[in-house]
A and B are shown apart, each in its own frame.
Chain A
Amino acid sequence: MTIRLAGILIGLGITAVLVLWSLIPGAYNYAFGPPAEKPAYYVFKEKPVAPEGGFSFDGPLGKWDYAQLQRGYAVYKQVCSACHGLKYVAFRNLEELGYTEAQVRAEAATWNVPGIDPNTGEATTRPGEPTDYFPNPYPNDVAAAAANNNAIPPDLSLMTKARKDGTNYVYSLLNGYVDPDPEKLAKAQENGFETPPGLYFNPWFSNVNLAMPPQLYPDLITYDDGTEATVPQMSADIAAFLTWTAEPSLVQRKQTGWFVIAFLIFATGLAFLSYKQIWAGKKAKKK
């Protein structure tokens, strides 16, 4: 009885503190106070969209499109790698894109990686080997910020997992340098919105003002397989490539999943039958 009485008193006390001091003033403020303001850029924000037809690795049966991954790698090498690293990916991993060992060795050698001069011990660069990881374009973050108007280009290894709906996010962002909608712009400017010099408007970026200038232009690169290098095409290819860099095991994971779940359904079916048989005599007869 004492415990219940104490419980009731404590319960009423906590509720009173919560309601009288926090809830009622908060509710009053919500009802009659000035409305909470969203930041001015909110009107522009867009949700990531998928390219037409989606990606080959979507869905539980998805598979890599190796030609697309190779095109995406070409975009990374010729465009992105000027500013962005790929530090968790090694050249040897490129074999997973369908290149032969010899091709990977030759490809690695086209990259310069940090090394040590064997004679003097001084820091130098040398051609890459398959066991090397992709080099960072800048020696450190200070150098990266200094070269890029104070914004550090992030490493891209995990980019598609580090953003919500990441693959579509990368595609939408690269394909999304558009002029702001004039009506929305007029409204946002009233609330103090601007795109400062050195930043670029992109409604898919978190605060819509992005430090990275538009990078992709039609026919910027020439694909080996003759695909026309349109901006959406290149955006989709690099998004696919970065999905692979973020999770090389993605397709293997889904395929393993089918085996595991098929086995479990079979085993659970057997378990169900044995459960029914064992319990047969113990259940009430249906009336």
Chain B
Amino acid sequence: MSFAWAKQYEPKSAFTKWVDEKLPLPRLVYNAVGAGYPVPRNLNYMWNFGVLAGFCLVLQIVTGVILAMHYAANTEVAFGTVEHIMRNVNYGWMMRYAHANGASFFFIVIYLHIFRGLYYSSYKAPREMIWLLGVVIFLLMMATAFMGYVLPWGQMSFWGAKVITGLFGAIPFIGEPLQIWLLGGFAPDNAALNRFFSLHFLLPFVIAGVVILHIWALHIPGSSNPTGVEVKKESDTVPFHPYYTSKDGFGLGVFLILFTFMVFFLPNMLGHPDNYIEANPLSTPALIVPEWYFLPFYAILRAFTADLTIPFTGIVLIEAKLLGVIAMFGSILVWFFLPWLDKSPVRSGHYRPMFKKFFWFGLIPCMALLTYVGGAPAEEPYVLLSQIATAYYFLHFLVILPIVSQIEVPKPLPYSITEAVLGSDDKPGGTDGGGDNPQAVVKPLPGSDPDGSLQPAE
């Protein structure tokens, strides 16, 4: 599936013709990320992070496979084999620092990618499936990163694993047996370390599979763009190659400069010193904190400090711990419903004055505050701040977005992408592209059937 004006792959040599006949893989690549994929011409740098996320995944798999050649998932030796990598394996220190910081940068990139989606409403029709698959990828990443952090078997590995698996113990009735079954014991030990290693090796390939679905789903309607106005004609697009390969190449260079700066000059800044102490089940660290990228969700987990009781009777309906677990998982599950919670026909935050205010002055400070208090000790005033931020988080997605999308008066949209870029188009003036009529924005794509249905992808 592509636009009618997309360039077609034409094998030139006898060899490429032969390959194209037997296995049209070059054709697939040409149509996916080559000249055969027309992309809106007005994408800004926020559209760079999908490619960067793909790069991070490959980087993590390559460094991770090399590390796995030297690592042993056994509680007796795991910590020692990590030190073996750092000291005796040629450039092992570089591999491990790249892998550890690579995880952090993967999450930085993914968070920017998600925030791009939130601001420009990339989750709206016809791109709901891309968004849903993206949330699945994010959940898989969280599981993978959590299990990866356990593997060095340092103090934070052990106690982090204990706290997080302990969350399952909050589930009524089946919680405790479920927790023991997941860990293979009463506390994290060899059984847990082994299965975490096994799953940590497996899940990145599952992620890669879902990424393929994510990109496949993207190629059906094509990329969104900063105006949120759909592509109308050829002058609205440029071929992915060379236009976006060159732009993403530059973005990748900037990313790599920042990334290698951390790897070579501040490799332990995003880690925790306690993880250079071997795991000791008898000595609890003063403050157990997860990796920085989990802090907002950890703050939501800890915000619920009191059981839900029937006042003045002392009857506990839901324990505080379970409330926290529900809220933490709920905080991500709510993203699955986003395409149906936000019904504004206008996609881009640029043209949505109320939404824009809530985004920049509500959601962004809220997430920053949650990250900050997630790493702070569980004492006042941090608890109070985490409760305020948690309340706003849920209000933003579940209450503010649906109401704003109902009452907001959007600004006029440009007629087309070409007009947005060049200032004029064949049909100047008009706000043909939007207003409050969703049908005006969600145009049937060129090349689709007359009834508006989409063709299956190539």
Contact = CB atoms under 8 A, between A and B. Distances in A.
Contacts of B388: 23
B367 interface: no
B277 to A, nearest CB: 5
B422 to A, nearest CB: 5
A6 B238 CA distance: 42
A30 B381 contact: yes
A4 B264 contact: no
Given A8-B402, A11-B395, A88 B264 contact: no
A258 B263 CA distance: 11
A4 B340 contact: yes
A27 B379 CA distance: 12
B83 interface: yes
Contact of B286 (A8, A166, A206): A206
Interface in A6-33: 7-8, 10-12, 14-15, 17-19, 21-23, 25-27, 30
Contacts of B264: 253-254, 256-258, 260-261
A253 B246 contact: no
Contacts of B86: 247, 249
Nearest to B341: A7
B394 A25 contact: no
B250 interface: yes
Contact of B308 (A10, A17, A93, A265): A17
A164 B246 contact: no
A12 B421 CA distance: 42
A97 to B, nearest CB: 15
A286 B48 CA distance: 24
B330 interface: yes
Contacts of B307: 21
Given A23-B384, A267-B253, A248 B87 contact: yes
B420 to A, nearest CB: 9
Nearest to A259: B264
A163 B155 CA distance: 12
B253 A268 contact: yes
Contact of A264 (B97, B247, B256, B391): B256
Interface stretch (B136-144, B165-173, B265-273, B430-438): B265-273
Contacts of A254: 264-265
B154 to A, nearest CB: 9
B276 interface: yes
Contact of B276 (A15, A162, A261, A267): A162
A50 B150 CA distance: 33
Contact of B277 (A19, A22, A162): A162
A41 to B, nearest CB: 12
Contacts of B381: 30
B47 to A, nearest CB: 14
B174 interface: no
A9 to B, nearest CB: 8
A282 B276 contact: no
A161 B93 CA distance: 14
Given A14-B327, A18-B304, A7 B399 contact: yes
Interface in A45-67: 60
Interface string A238-251: 00000000111100
Interface string A260-287: 1100110110011011001100111001
Q: Say which size band chain A's interface belongs to.
A: 35 or more
A246 to B, nearest CB: 8
A174 interface: no
Given A23-B387, A267-B253, A11 B399 contact: yes
A178 interface: no
A278 B242 contact: yes
Contact of B273 (A36, A162, A249): A162
A264 B253 contact: yes
A284 B41 CA distance: 11
B109 interface: no
Given A7-B399, A260-B260, A22 B303 contact: yes
Contacts of B403: 8
A206 to B, nearest CB: 7
A19 B391 contact: yes
A146 interface: no
Contacts of A12: 395, 398-399
A247 B265 CA distance: 13
A157 interface: yes
Contact of A282 (B97, B243, B394): B243
Contacts of B94: 253, 256
A3 interface: yes
A23 B391 contact: yes
B380 interface: yes
Contact of A271 (B250, B267, B421, B422): B250
Interface of A: 3-4, 7-8, 10-12, 14-15, 17-19, 21-23, 25-27, 30, 36, 60, 88, 93, 154, 157-158, 161-164, 166, 206, 246-249, 253-254, 256-258, 260-261, 264-265, 267-268, 271-272, 274-275, 278-279, 282-284, 287
Given A3-B337, A158-B276, A257-B261, 10 more contacts: A4-B402, A7-B337, A26-B384, A36-B379, A158-B83, A253-B93, A257-B260, A264-B253, A272-B250, A282-B41
Interface of B: 41, 80, 83, 86-87, 93-94, 97, 238, 242-243, 246-247, 249-250, 252-254, 256-257, 260-261, 263-265, 267-268, 273-274, 276-277, 286, 303-309, 320, 323, 327, 330, 334, 337, 340-341, 343, 379-381, 383-384, 387-388, 390-391, 394-395, 397-399, 402-403, 406, 421-423
Instruction: Rank and list the top 4 A-B pairs by shortest CB-CB distance, nearest first.
Output: A257-B264, A11-B398, A268-B253, A4-B402
12 contacts: A4-B340, A15-B399, A17-B304, A18-B390, A25-B306, A30-B380, A158-B83, A246-B276, A268-B256, A271-B246, A279-B243, A284-B421
